[in-house]
Each structure stands twice: as structure tokens, then as C-alpha cells.
Amino acid sequence: MSTQDKVIAIIAEQAVLDPSDVTLDSTLEDLGIDSLGLVESIFAIEEEFDITIPFNANEPEQSDFDISNVAAIVTGIDKLIAEKG
């Protein structure tokens, strides 16, 4: 499973949607994910990929990790994995 597929599966689970309903352009808000869902999604992503997402990821002006849409999240995860490896 690619990073993208794993992220979509995690986000779809949090949003109680089918993964086919989650696109790369989807924002978490579009998918109905609130702040608690965001935290749960981040924990699930960190566990799945064995990475640490910056605590201020929800403040784009203060973080390198962009959560504006699914594609940005995938890009951020790939970057963290590369930095770790």
C-alpha cells in the first residue's frame, strides 16, 4: 500500500466514509473531520508510519507540515519519512 492509499484509508476511517469518497483535493473540513477527528487522524498516521507530526501542524503559518488537504498531508508524511530514513 502506498503512503497515499494508507493516508486515505486512515482519513476515511476517521470521517466514517468509504476511501473512494476521499480525494487528494479533499480538505478535512470537507470530509466532516473536526478538531478531535484531526487529533485522532494524526495519532493514527504517526503510528502507521512511525513518524512524529509537528504539534503545530494545524497552524500552517507556524509549521512546515501542511494539512490543508489530503495531497498536502501525503506530501508532508513523505517528507518526514525521508528525513527519518
Question: What is the distance between the alpha carbons of residues 13 and 49, in angstroms, rounded to a whole number?
Answer: 16
The grid cell for 40 is 485522532
DSSP state of 75: H
Instruction: Give the active site residues.
Output: 34
Closest CA to 76 of 52, 44, 59: 52
